[in-house]
Structure formats: structure tokens, C-alpha cells
Structure 1
Amino acid sequence: MGRVQGKVALVTGGASGIGLSASVLMAKEGAKVVIADLNEKEAKDAAEMIKNQGGEAIGIFLDAGKEESIRNAIETTVESFGTITVLVNNVGLTNLHKDLDVVNLDLDEWDRLMNVNLKSVLLGSRFAIPHMIKAGGGSIINTASMAGLTGDSTRSAYGASKAAVVNLTRYIASQYGKDHIRCNGVAPGLILTPAAQNNMPQAVLDIFAKFNALPYHGEADDIGYTVLFLASDESKFITGQTIQVEGGHYMANPSISDFNDYLAKSQS
């Protein structure tokens, strides 16, 4: 207990999935948490759950596509708890129907994803950093994606926006390290959040499982614990990094699974 005792954290997109896991885990370990989400009711419900478990939290509205809403979330955090020392930029959008290959993707969707997935990280950091400097330092944690580190047949805008998040993470770390501000990213693979479970057919989940090095899928807490580590002083000498939390799905030669099948059949 107490791994982030005394820290004040704002988690965007914190009402469900990865954001909720990070919020709950940090609150259990002593942080005061502001949960900001487009779904204000779910944000407030999540904060109430944390308080019922003995933690400190509030839930607020956030539209990550609007600059003033992001500024208000930072200011509300500071007004409520006196400062901000941890910022988790966790909001991210994707659209499988409009975000296609480069020739066919919807250009308005490209602009929307860049605004929400990338610009919100810039703005959240921009508004939080002056407060962190006054507080003597802080930790910014950006939710990237393995889509930002690899290529794919679709979701071009999403992948490009997350790749930009990875490099923006390095820039923030480079520019503000001397102010005792660390900035790191987390790149999840397929994580079985409620959204993933509700929207992915079993056949798609099976495809991902085939190429995982581990024999199971990731869960929200796998990312939440990584965020907790990066928020804590346990990671005080880590900055500018994007930690891949993806079950080994992307680390190996992609032919290994099929080659193992071939060997098994040839030996039978």
C-alpha cells in the first residue's frame, strides 16, 4: 500500500476499461484521483465506488476534443486537491467503418482522430506541466497503442495518431526532464476491456490468441498496473519510454505460429 501516496492524478477517459483500472489502482495505493470522461455519470459512479472503498476521488465531465474542456479538467483537479502530479492521457477513439486504408479512409475522420487521440495529449500536458513544475515534478503517462508501432491493413489514422503519441512522449520527456517531470507511454495490444469483448467476434479473438506468445489475452489491470508503476517513484529513472504490454504478440517472426503448425503436421 502507499505506492503513490500523496500524489494527485487526473485520468482522462477514466470511467471504464483501462482508465478505470488505473484510477482504482492508484486510489488504492494512496493517490487522490480525478476521473474525467465524456460520460459524466459513469465518471461520478466510478469516483463513488472508489470512495466507498476508502479512496479519494471525484468524477467530472471531459470532452477531449475541446481545448477548453481539457483546460477545465486540469484546473478542476488543482482546485479540488491543490495540485496535479500525475496525468494519464488515456482518451482514444477508433472507427472501423471510416478509418480504412490510406486510399479509402474518410478525411474528416482523420482530422477527428488526430484531434482527440493526439491533440488532447498535447493539450493535457501543456496545461498540466506548469502546475507540475510548481509542485516540484510529476509523471505524465500517455496511452499509445501497438498500432502506433506496427503497420496494419486498416485504421491508418488511428495508427498514425498513436505513432505521434509515442514520439510526443519523447519530446515532452526531453523538454521537461530537468523540471523533474517524467513522461512515458504504454502501448497495449489487444486488451479484453468490456468494449473489446462486446465488439469483437470470437473468431477475431482467436486470431489474436494464435499469435500471442502467452496463452491468454490481456486484461485492463495489466495496463492499469503498468500505469501505477509509471506514476510511482519506483519508475523515477524511466522517462521517454513506451512500454509494450501486448503478451508478446508483436515481438516474434510472424511466421512462427504457422511454422510450428507445419512441423507438427510433418511429424505426425
Structure 2
Amino acid sequence: MARMNNKVALITGGASGIGLSSAQLMAKEGAKVVIADFNVEGAKEAAENIKAQGGEAAVVFVDAGNGDSIKEAVEFTVKKYGKITTLFNNVGLTNLKKDLDVVNMDLDEWDRLMNINLKSVLLGTRYAVPHMIEAGGGSIINTASMAGFASDAIRAAYGASKAGVVNLTRYIATQYGKYNIRSNTVAPGLILTPAAKNNMPAEVLDLFAKYNALPYHGEPEDIGYTVLFLASDESRFITGQTIQVEGGHYIANPTVPDFEQFSKMAQGK
């Protein structure tokens, strides 16, 4: 328990999935963590589990679509533990029924996703930075998505919001680096969070697996360990970067799996 000693981390969306994994790993490595979530009961359960393992954790409600709520979560963290050195802006939403192509998407949904997925990152950072300066520096980690780099048939608003997170991260890194504040992004591919497991049929998961370079899907811990690295001093000279954690899904010519299958058929295998 040394990688996060003397650090205080606020994790939004920390009650489940990637946020929960990150909170658990940071606490295990010595950080005091504040789990901020709309789901307060889930956050309380997560905090109790961390405490049962010998870690330190607190809970605060946050509505990522409300600037006052975000500010209150930051202020709660500072009041509870005396400072904030790590901010993990992890809240993000998508809507497959309303976030369609650019002609047919619900424009209110565009505004909602930009507010929650992108503006919440801006506001969390806005309220945390003065406290980080006072503490002598810090690490801001933002959750983007591979949807910010690769387009799709639907989810135009989600992809645009996550691309915005990637670029906003660079601006934060540039503007506050001299204060010893780093800002980086994690861009997950398909991760088997509870939401993904509950909402994606096995056939869809198999379709994604076909195009992975690795023979398995990612788990929340795969992102959590990346976040832990970026939160720790081990990454002290890394800022303004986006780490793509996606199992090699996007690295190759997209025809490779189909061409391999064609070659086997041609050879009679």
C-alpha cells in the first residue's frame, strides 16, 4: 500500500463498473477515496466494502448534469480529507434509442450527452484545480471512449462528446501543467461492466470479439489499473495523453478477420 499514499481521490460514477474498480484499486494502494455517484446506496455499499478491506472511503451524491452538485462533491472531498489530489471524471451516458445518426437523432439528447459527458469534465476540473494548486499539484483523469476516435452507424452525440473529452484533456494539461497538475484520458473499448453484460446479447459480444486482437474482452479492472497508474506518481511525466485500452480492436485493417476466414475457405480448411 504505497503507490497512492497521501493522495485523496474523488471518483465520479464510482459505485459500479470502471469507477468502482478504480476506487478499490486506489484505496488498496493507500489513497483516501470519495465515491461520488447518483446511486448513493450503491456508493455506500462500495465504500463499506473498501473499509472492510482496510481502506478509507467516503460517499457523496453527485448529479453530473448539475454544476452545483459537482462543485459540492469537490468541496465535500476537501472538507472530509483536507485536500484533493486526484480527480477521476468518469461519468458518461449513452442512449441507443435517441442518439442516432445526425439526421434522425433527438437534439435534446445531443444537449443532454454534451452536458453530462463533456461539460461535467470541464466543471469537475474547474472546481478541483484551485484545490490541487493549493495542495501542490494533482492528477486529473478523464474517461473518454474509442467512440471518440472511430465512427459508428449511430451514437453521433456520444462519439462527439467523447472526442471533446480527449481534446479538453489536452487543454487542461497545457494550461495547468506549470502548477504540477497532470491531465490524461483513458479511452476504453468494449468493457464487460455490469451494464454491458446486462444489455448486450451474447451474439453482439461475439461480434466484437471477432475483431479483437486479443482473445477476450476487457474487464473493469483493465481500465482500473490504467487509471491507478495515471493517478500515481509513476506517471509523473505523462500529461495530455490518451491511453486506448481496447484489446487491439481498432489497430488492424478491419477486413483482417474476414480475410483470414476467406483464406481458410480457399485452402479448404
TM-score by length of 1: 0.99
One-letter identity of the residue aligned with 2:233:
D
2:139 matched to which residue of 1?
139
Q: Cα offset for 1:190? A: 0.1
1:73 matched to which residue of 2?
73
Matched, 1:56 2:56: yes
Secondary structure of the 2:223 match is: helix
Once residues 55 and 70 of structure 2 are traced to their aligned partners in structure 1, the CA distance between those partners, rounded to angstroms, is 24
Q: Cα offset for 1:59? A: 1.2
Alignment of 1:152-191 (within 5 A): 152-191=152-191
Q: Cα offset for 1:173? A: 0.3
Once residues 123 and 184 of structure 1 are traced to their aligned partners in structure 2, the CA distance between those partners, rounded to angstroms, is 16
The CA deviation string for residues 118-159 of structure 1, in whole angstroms up to 9 with x for no partner, is: 000000000000000000000000000000011110000000
One-letter identity of the residue aligned with 1:56:
E
Secondary structure of the 1:265 match is: helix
One-letter identity of the residue aligned with 1:146:
M
Secondary structure of the 2:9 match is: strand
Secondary structure of the 1:57 match is: strand
1:16 matched to which residue of 2?
16
1:118 matched to which residue of 2?
118
Secondary structure of the 1:244 match is: strand
Does structure 2 conserve the Cα–Cα contact (< 8 Å) formed by 1:45 and 1:59? no
Question: Gaps (5+ residues) in structure 1?
Answer: none
Once residues 193 and 146 of structure 2 are traced to their aligned partners in structure 1, the CA distance between those partners, rounded to angstroms, is 16
One-letter identity of the residue aligned with 2:25:
L
2:106 matched to which residue of 1?
106
Does structure 2 conserve the Cα–Cα contact (< 8 Å) formed by 1:5 and 1:30? yes
Structure 1 segments, 4+ long, off by >2 Å, are none
Question: Gaps (5+ residues) in structure 2?
Answer: none
Q: Percent identity?
A: 74
Once residues 60 and 120 of structure 2 are traced to their aligned partners in structure 1, the CA distance between those partners, rounded to angstroms, is 16
Aligned length: 268
TM-score by length of 2: 0.99
One-letter identity of the residue aligned with 1:135:
A
Q: Cα offset for 1:60? A: 1.2
2:256 matched to which residue of 1?
256
Secondary structure of the 1:94 match is: coil
Once residues 223 and 6 of structure 2 are traced to their aligned partners in structure 1, the CA distance between those partners, rounded to angstroms, is 22
Once residues 166 and 96 of structure 2 are traced to their aligned partners in structure 1, the CA distance between those partners, rounded to angstroms, is 22
The CA deviation string for residues 92-118 of structure 1, in whole angstroms up to 9 with x for no partner, is: 000000000000000000000000000
Q: Cα offset for 1:77? A: 0.1
One-letter identity of the residue aligned with 1:114:
M
The CA deviation string for residues 26-47 of structure 1, in whole angstroms up to 9 with x for no partner, is: 0000000000000011111111
Kindly report the root-mean-square deviation, in angstroms, between the aligned alpha carbons of the 2 structures: 0.5
1:208 matched to which residue of 2?
208
Secondary structure of the 1:140 match is: strand
Matched, 1:226 2:226: yes
1:41 matched to which residue of 2?
41
Once residues 151 and 246 of structure 2 are traced to their aligned partners in structure 1, the CA distance between those partners, rounded to angstroms, is 15
One-letter identity of the residue aligned with 2:175:
Q
Secondary structure of the 2:60 match is: strand
Once residues 152 and 226 of structure 2 are traced to their aligned partners in structure 1, the CA distance between those partners, rounded to angstroms, is 25
Q: Cα offset for 1:2? A: 1.2
Does structure 2 conserve the Cα–Cα contact (< 8 Å) formed by 1:62 and 1:70? yes
The CA deviation string for residues 158-210 of structure 1, in whole angstroms up to 9 with x for no partner, is: 00000000000000000000000000000000000111000000110011000
The CA deviation string for residues 226-246 of structure 1, in whole angstroms up to 9 with x for no partner, is: 000000000001000010000
Once residues 177 and 204 of structure 1 are traced to their aligned partners in structure 2, the CA distance between those partners, rounded to angstroms, is 41
